[in-house]
Every structure is written in structure tokens, then in C-alpha cells.
Chain A
Amino acid sequence: DTVLTQSPALAVSPGERVTISCRASESVSTGMHWYQQKPGQQPKLLIYGASNLESGVPARFSGSGSGTDFTLTIDPVEADDTATYFCQQSWNDRTFGGGTKLELK
């Protein structure tokens, strides 16, 4: 199985730029997607195909990467962005990263 590794937590101040990383144990080409999940809610798709912004998602969110290293960037961060962010790959079956909990200072 393709293992996706994310940092467990980050804390940033509103208005700052934050990058959330996801590393795959083997190449997933650009089959990487990013989700935001708030407590008690289902995940919400933000980025698909590594860098494509889902319709309706603010342009503050962007994604980059290919192969094994991927990044989700939020610039600038707003208070409402407090959530857990998950990466997911679709190149080799389907697996998720463990999630990065974003907190605002």
C-alpha cells in the first residue's frame, strides 16, 4: 500500500502563509488530492489532481507537487481555516494521509 505521511499539527497566525506537506512512499504521479475536515463534518474536497482548485474553493488555497512530494498552501490564512487537512492518493488504490491539524494562534 502507498503510505502518505503528513506532519500532525501546525499553528499559524491569521494573515500568514502556511504550507502543509504530504510525502508518498512511492510515486503517485499527480494523483494527489486535498481535503479539509472540520469537527463533526464530512471532508470537503479542496484540490484535485495535485494542483486543480475545486469549484467554489477560495483562491487562497493552492496545491503543488508530483511524484512523491506534495504541498497544500493557504495564503493568507483566515480564522475559518482552522481544521484538519488530509491528503489522499488515487494512483495505487486509495489511501489517505494521517491528517494535519491546523490551529490559529
Chain B
Amino acid sequence: QVQLKESGPGLVQPSQTLSLTCTVSGFSLTSNSVHWVRQPPGKGLEWVGAIWSGGSTDYNSALKSRLSISRDTSKSQVFLKMNSLQTEDTAIYFCTRQGPYGSFHYWGQGVMVTVSS
């Protein structure tokens, strides 16, 4: 069945770089697009960016200068790298597979990232 699982450090220091991995199973990254969505504690959802099935990427314009999304199709993994982290980047980071009409069909459990010294 379709599964997505996020992994990465729980704590990152301010100004440092965040690296997250989304490991997927049950589907191919070359046939499906994967997005990152984040949610600060107690707040709403924010789209971070996407890597499309063809390998191209799109980013939230507010984060674009700090963000990179890539993938390793042989390992069924999608990577998120965000630099110059600030406390406002503290959030649960979810990876999600795109569904019909551009919806987010399947979601990982999320990984909590805290930016603090």
C-alpha cells in the first residue's frame, strides 16, 4: 500500500540548514509528484514545495530563496533542504503524494522540527 515516512533531525540551530528525507513505498516517484507541507505548532498548513513526476520543482515564493527539493528515484526518497533557518521555521513537516485535481492524497505522519539554540 502507499506509504510516506519523513525523517530528519528534531532540533536545528538558528541559521543552520535543515535536511529532511521522505521515504515512499507502494508507488513510483517517476509517475507521481510529492509535495512538502508544514504546520507550525497550533497553526494552519503551509505548502512548502513540490517535485513533479518528471523531476522539475516548484517552491513557495516566500521560501524559494532558501529551499531545495530533490529526489533519488532508485531509493524512493525525496529530500528537502532549507537553509538559514529561523525560529519561525519551527513546524511539523509533512510529505504528501499528489492526488486527483491537484489534491494531497496520501500523507506521511510528519516530523517535528524545532529551531532553537
Contacts and interface: CB of A to CB of B under 8 A. Distances in A.
Interface stretch (A11-19, A44-52, A66-74): A44-52
Interface residues of A, number: 24
A43 interface: yes
A30 B102 CA distance: 10
A93 B60 contact: yes
Given A93-B60, A94-B35, A33 B44 contact: no
B108 A42 contact: yes
Interface string A65-105: 00000000000000000000010101101111111000000
Contact of A48 (B35, B60, B99): B99
A77 B60 CA distance: 35
Given A88-B47, A96-B44, 4 more contacts: A30-B101, A33-B103, A88-B45, A94-B50
